[in-house]
Amino acid sequence: MVAAAAGVSRATVSRVVNGSTSVAPEAAAAVHAAVEALNYVPNRMARSLASRRTDVIALIVPESTSTVFADPFFAPVVRGVARALSDTDYTLNLLIASESRPEKTRRYLLGGNVDGALVVSHHASDHSYLGLGDTLPIVFGGRPVNPELADAWFVDVDNRASARLATEHLLARGRTRIATIAGRQDMPAGIDRLEGWRDALGAAGAPADRVEFGDFTQASGAAAMERLLAATESTGAATGTGLDGVFVANDQMAAGAIRTLLSHGLSVPGDVAVVGYDDDTFAATITPPLTTVHQPSAELGAQMAQVLVRRLAGDTPPHRTLIPTHLVERDSS
Amino acid sequence: MVAAAAGVSRATVSRVVNGSTSVAPEAAAAVHAAVEALNYVPNRMARSLASRRTDVIALIVPESTSTVFADPFFAPVVRGVARALSDTDYTLNLLIASESRPEKTRRYLLGGNVDGALVVSHHASDHSYLGLGDTLPIVFGGRPVNPELADAWFVDVDNRASARLATEHLLARGRTRIATIAGRQDMPAGIDRLEGWRDALGAAGAPADRVEFGDFTQASGAAAMERLLAATESTGAATGTGLDGVFVANDQMAAGAIRTLLSHGLSVPGDVAVVGYDDDTFAATITPPLTTVHQPSAELGAQMAQVLVRRLAGDTPPHRTLIPTHLVERDSS
DNA sequence: GTGAAAGCGCTAACAT
DNA sequence: ATGTTAGCGCTTTCAC
């Protein structure tokens, strides 16, 4: 080590470089000067070998490159992770996994290249990384589905609380006959958002019996709204009086529902207030602009990073971190 | 090394793992079996320390995360790099540079984490990576501007040849009075595309005297077209006969030019054929769909990777690699 | 507070 | 064809 030519031993240089305590001020100064003069950069491989840590965290996105760049979900997540990590000494390492052979990624992860990994994906059907959890600290993000992941670490958006929030907003606006268009019941997003709607209505003592299901597409939202309207009319109530608010499990379906409402001559939010979920790219531009629950993707990334960093620091954060959301109030409610 | 418990020495295990020649078939088999049984994955740090190579290539994008994901230019480049690298043993390492402190990236690069780096950016004003070229093999991509980079390795799109191609297409279509709307002359894209137009016309013995300049915006293209038309009319020729083709240095300006042409009652391509450059997102959807030069971004990424891999293999590829483009023929010509 | 010595897990001559 | 011997450049007990 050339820097030792600054009067001290390799050990002392190491101490200084790593900001260790118990080093004489003058010795430290000498080392710093030498480091500066020699333009010294410690070799990370050697350091890692000796210290058994890399200071690198991998962010694994098990999608094709095109998807990663096309899908509006990933960008904020990456940004959130990067931001959270920039406060630390960890370097971020984006691994677009499906581009190369999975085996390559696996070896990379297991080969001691990183101290921990973040895995983010839409579809939790990918089991590739489950086994790694025992060897390498991993934090999953996005929308967990696998039941076997009970012992894993997760960061997720609190769908249930968010749906409750949205429904309570409808209640606060004076709406009393609130229906919901729920999503597919084989996904957490579908199940939890329906539960949240029930929570809010139950707590308010209002009946939670007007439910129709869709599959998150705009067409299914329009159809579900038709059914809701038909059921309401058959109860004998005057048009519009049997229903004055709807919580829709995502913005796409909400757009469809509004279309149906308007085509029936009902006004939004005059006759029926609508609240969606996602705050997707179109939420602000449809007519009327949609009140919806904002999906905090950057926050998801940031929290994932933080949970992993805490684990790496020897801390034991909770296995499941739920991120609160917030309502974006626009004109549809 | 536990695998040595498979009957041979560490050295032999190393040979087998690294696919070396001269290992007895039975010895190799024994090692493979042991590797399998013990679920052995070589430690990359140790391997790197000893072999002085990492098998990792960094792709540095000196932009903010938001830009990287929003800009349609980067996605195909990353995809191209990833694809090219998937044929090799190199692992790709995406570094979104501006997100963390530049110093962090520099240390990462100099700290022996990677065997080489790819730097891609729109604006070549960033000098951060110039100094590294002496220490670490780097290949730049995109649109080089810095003259100091004469000794660096580059991969770039052949703007000049492409512009010539576009102009020749106009010639082949029987157009004889071909103007150009050139871009800013302080950028290679502006300069080279004008040169290419001159090349084609010169080779065909046609006069290359109708030039107007724009700044790559749609408005400037529309204005330049106005000037071209005015100049043509002042020559006394009947409207439209003084000009029957235009090569425009990018699609945005081409869109503006077409708007001007149509507003003057001229038909495209009937009276004037138009060829653009970039094949951007809107090229196919404007009226009429634009004939344009496709920008091979994925190819750029792939070539960058290949040049770097060749350098790492000890080969000496040319400093400057020019990627040929191709014309996308639509209805405007 | 600081130096000496012992590796971290592997590869690469050099022998054999 | 295979084993032996040295390190790669750093961190880290352990003495002093």
Q: What is the mean pLDDT of chain B?
A: 88
A53 φ, ψ (degrees, to nearest 5): -145, 155
CB contact under 8 A, B96 and A100: no
Q: Whose CA is nearest the C1' atom of nucleotide C13?
A: B11
Q: Which pLDDT value is given to residue B123? A: 56
Q: Cβ(A18)–Cβ(A28) under 8 Å? A: no
Going by CATH, does the domain composed of B56-156+298-323 fall within 3.40.50.720?
Answer: no
DSSP state of B324: -
Most confident of B95-109, B110-124, B184-198: B184-198
Question: How many other C-beta atoms are found inside a 10 Å radius of the C-beta of residue A132?
Answer: 17
Chain C: bases < 7 Å from a protein Cβ: 1-5, 7-13
CB contact under 8 A, A101 and B111: no
What are the structural domain ranges in chain A?
2-42, 56-156+298-323, 159-294
pLDDT of B261 strictly over 80: yes
SS3 A51: helix
Is A65 within 8 Å of chain B by CB? Answer: yes
Whether nucleic acid strand D comes within 7 Å of the CB of B11, the answer is: yes
Whether nucleic acid strand D comes within 7 Å of the CB of A15, the answer is: yes
Find the nucleotide nearest A43 (Cα to C1′). D9
List C-alpha distances in Å: A20 to A8, A14, A53, B103: 15, 8, 17, 21
Q: Which pLDDT value is given to residue A151? A: 82
Q: Cβ(A240)–Cβ(A273) under 8 Å? A: no
In this prediction the pTM is 0.80
Count CA atoms closer than 13 A to A24's CA, side-chain side: 6
pLDDT tens digit sequence for B129-182: 767 778 899 999 876 666 666 788 999 999 999 999 999 999 999 999 999 999
Angstrom distance, A139 CA to C13 C1': 43
The fold of B159-294 is: Rossmann fold (3.40.50)
AA identity, residue B162:
S
Q: Which pLDDT value is given to residue A236? A: 47
Is A82 within 8 Å of chain B by CB? Answer: yes
* Chain A residue closest in CA terms to B43: A111
pLDDT tens digit sequence for B214-245: 999 999 999 999 999 998 776 544 444 589 99
Tokens of B255: 């869109």
Chain B, 78-97: which CBs lie within 7 Å of strand D?
none
Is A10 within 8 Å of chain B by CB? Answer: no
Q: Cβ(B194)–Cβ(B248) under 8 Å? A: no
> pLDDT 10s per residue in chain A (333 long)?
666 677 888 889 999 988 877 888 888 888 989 898 888 889 989 999 999 888 889 998 877 877 777 777 788 898 899 889 988 888 888 888 765 667 778 888 888 889 999 998 755 555 667 677 788 999 998 766 666 667 889 999 999 999 999 999 999 999 999 999 999 998 888 999 999 999 999 999 999 999 999 999 999 999 999 999 998 776 544 444 589 999 999 999 999 999 999 999 999 999 999 999 999 888 998 999 999 999 999 999 999 999 999 999 889 999 999 999 999 999 999
How far is the first Cα of chain A from the last one, in angstroms, to the nearest whole number? 68
AA identity, residue A113:
N
pLDDT tens digit sequence for A192-251: 999 999 999 999 999 999 999 999 999 999 999 999 999 877 654 444 458 999 999 999
Angstrom distance, A9 CA to C4 C1': 10
